[in-house]
A and B are shown apart, each in its own frame.
Chain A
Amino acid sequence: MSKTTEKVKAGLAKRYARERRFRRFGLASIILSMVFLAVLLLTIFSNGLPAFTQTYLKFEVDLSAEVLGVDANAEQAALRAASYSTVIKNTLAASFPEVKKRKQKKALRKLVSSNAPYRLQQMVMANPQLIGTRQSVWFLADDDIDTFFKGNIDRTLPESSRRIKDFQLVWLDKLSAEGKVEKRFNTEFFSRGDSREPEQAGILGALMGSLYTMLVTIMLSFPIGVAAAIYLEEFAPKDNRWVDLIEVNINNLAAVPSIVFGLLGLAIFIQLFGVPRSTPLVGGLVLTLMTLPTIIIASRAALKAVPPSIREAALGLGASRVQTVFHHVLPLAMPGILTGTIIGMAQALGETAPLLMIGMVAFIIDIPGGISDPAAALPVQIYLWSDSPERAFTERTSAAIIVLLFFLVMMNLIAVMLRKKFERRW
């Protein structure tokens, strides 16, 4: 055995050990991050999944013309103003005739959600023939009742530390024994705007707000970003001080905290140009500023990856530079550009800080119908709900996070699929 081999052999065990150690460290860090992710997802899903069902209570309502104060032939305006809340009050009192005390009567009225009269209003306005009949109607349960039926209120606690009192437990047990309690898929959550009553609060308003904001963002940032990238990569003079300066600035902008873009948006778009506050338009403009650097950088990288031989071949066959870029280079770079754009958009979708400055952190009930209607966005909705005192908003907060995560995962999935499908190697 030569001297060198001996030397190598002596150090071999140490080298193997070092290698093993490094691998273990790597594996450990991956496992650790997986555990964190699992804990995060588990908490969110275990908190949020109950929000996708909702408790309904069935009551027999007597839509008599005397109580409502209108008859079946009345005008729509009269039907709207009829006293539906009296009907609800009578219905509840009739279901629990033993309730006499004032405080208990008040609690009884809160068994069903505060929109119960409006539910009757809608029914009657759609079909006035219902007046004078008795109907079985499923009403939304109040948030405390809903929380109870979802098992989040411990009935073994002393009465003073429960939100549901003993006398209410008697009612609820009775209703549930009579089969008048049902848990259904929470369609309200996906079809309504925000509300201060947890059981009536929905995500659709925020979802539409996010959609319009993203629409404005992509309409502006994609063409501008791609055009800027093409110019900088294909047409800008090399070794020019101005071009260098612009490049440095774009790279820096990508690292600027997003709240700064919000301040900029407030000063320029709102105060200087008078764009209305709290609208998807101004939100989209601000997020455009934020995503532009991401798109430009990704697009430039994609353009750079197209081999020069393709450009040279096109030029050699007599194509102009614009023809070369638009007929040959850009189509080949498109998958990379689209991936970068989608990832930039996903980032913008989850952004709250800049929206804070331009008034999108607001309570908006109506579902926005366009880019100039006041709107909130998904992450803003999560923030607002997490800050609400009502207990039932906790599960809604997590449910909104699930919805947001769903869209983010979908967007990233599309990016991955685009890359896989169109990726070319040279």
Chain B
Amino acid sequence: MKHLSTCIAISLAIGASAISGTVQARDNIEVVGSSTVFPFATVVAETFTRKTGKPAPKIESTGSGGGMKLFCAGTGINTPDVTNASRRIKASELEKCQANGVSPIEVKVGYDGIAIANSKQATPFALTRLDLFLALAKDVPQGDDGQLVPNPYTMWNEVNPDLPAQKIEVLGPPPTSGTRDAFVELAMEGGCNTFDWIKAEEKKDKANYKAICHNIREDGVYIETGENDNLILQKLDTNPNALGIFGFSFLDQNSDNVQGASIDGVDIDFENIAAGDYPISRPLYMYVKKEHANTMTDIAAFMAEFTSDEAWGEDGYLADKGMIPMPEEERAAFGAAAKNMTALESL
């Protein structure tokens, strides 16, 4: 059995050399961040590589918060060059970035709409943000005196007599998701603010305001369906009574099976989101590490591709993938920020 011991010796040697031989500089761009921006960033990366013949950027979907954490950890080849976010950078994150010697270049890339949709076999819904708040909040106000009671509604017509007499059943993302954050901030808060005393609470006691507006009920009416939007779509198909919450690009791709509800009388479509009329839409951002962009020329080229009209313009390929382009002026402003590499100093 001499062979066996030689085999072991060889494989150990290979294993050891594998570990030692890897510390080297990388030549590809590293991108982390939001899973909402992921499908758009990947298309840009692909086009960028094809056009320039440069090494393909590596894109990880870590979520907006996770991406920021990695991005702000410092500079050097072990840290990512770019992070995407489906919300703006927070003051605390910016501070941490700056403390670690990272100056982020902020580029808003476009908008994303959040669809509240049901199966095409059912009648389409016309909802308001107030309806959504009353149907989904953990506690709802009763009367005008500032009293809260645990959400008693089980049928849509109890929330609003104009809605069908149908059980409230909503499939949506879990709290870790950026879509959920945006839904809570845009739809639930929007409904919340129709009550004057709650609106006043925002100035007085922010924590209490958030507790009222941001808490989604946990009695089985709102069903957390994981981060996979395709799963929600499949469930809507088998259950015509349910509503689902997911990104606009999924609605766009599956328009033969599901239909989006109108919110506050505005239909969800490309034009209405782009015009800013559809109330539940959010901006998408890309943050680039200036320190890396200075030394790695590919990053500037990648930013140029992302901010080219062919990509983020009205008829660009990102619009084809379901991203809502920004108006002309905003594109010009953020395009210039990307080109001149103006770092974000403060919010």
| A interface list, Cβ under 8 A from B | 80, 106, 110, 114-115, 118, 153-154, 157, 160-163, 193, 195-197, 216, 219-220, 222-223, 226-227, 274-279, 281, 285, 326-327, 330-331, 359, 361-366, 371-372, 374, 384, 386-391, 394
Contacts and interface: CB of A to CB of B under 8 A. Distances in A.
Contacts of B253: 163, 389-391
Interface string B153-186: 0000000000000000000000000000000000
Interface residues of B, number: 53
Contacts of B23: 274
A216 B14 CA distance: 9
A201 to B, nearest CB: 10
B18 A196 contact: no
B174 to A, nearest CB: 14
B1 to A, nearest CB: 5
Contact of B21 (A115, A197, A223, A372): A372
B50 A118 contact: yes
B49 interface: yes
Given A161-B256, A196-B46, A374-B58, A281 B22 contact: yes
Given A196-B46, A362-B58, A390-B253, 19 more contacts: A110-B320, A115-B50, A118-B50, A153-B256, A196-B39, A216-B18, A219-B15, A223-B15, A278-B58, A359-B60, A362-B59, A363-B41, A366-B49, A372-B21, A372-B22, A389-B229, A389-B230, A389-B254, A391-B253
Contact of A157 (B30, B53, B256): B256
Interface of B: 1, 4-5, 8, 11-12, 14-15, 18-19, 21-24, 26, 28, 30, 35, 38-39, 41-43, 45-46, 49-50, 53, 55-56, 58-61, 78, 120, 227-230, 247, 249-250, 252-256, 315, 317, 320-322
A372 B24 contact: yes
Contacts of B78: 274, 276-277
Given A106-B315, A359-B60, A275 B1 contact: no
Given A195-B46, A223-B12, A364 B4 contact: no
B312 to A, nearest CB: 15
Contacts of B254: 389, 391
A361 B50 contact: no
Contacts of B256: 153-154, 157, 161-163
A137 to B, nearest CB: 18
Contacts of A388: 39, 230
9 contacts: A157-B256, A161-B120, A226-B8, A275-B19, A330-B4, A331-B4, A362-B59, A364-B59, A366-B49
A115 B47 CA distance: 10
Nearest to B231: A386
A395 to B, nearest CB: 13
Contact of B61 (A106, A216, A361): A361
A151 to B, nearest CB: 14
Given A276-B26, A326-B4, A387-B230, A363 B42 contact: yes
A147 B20 CA distance: 47
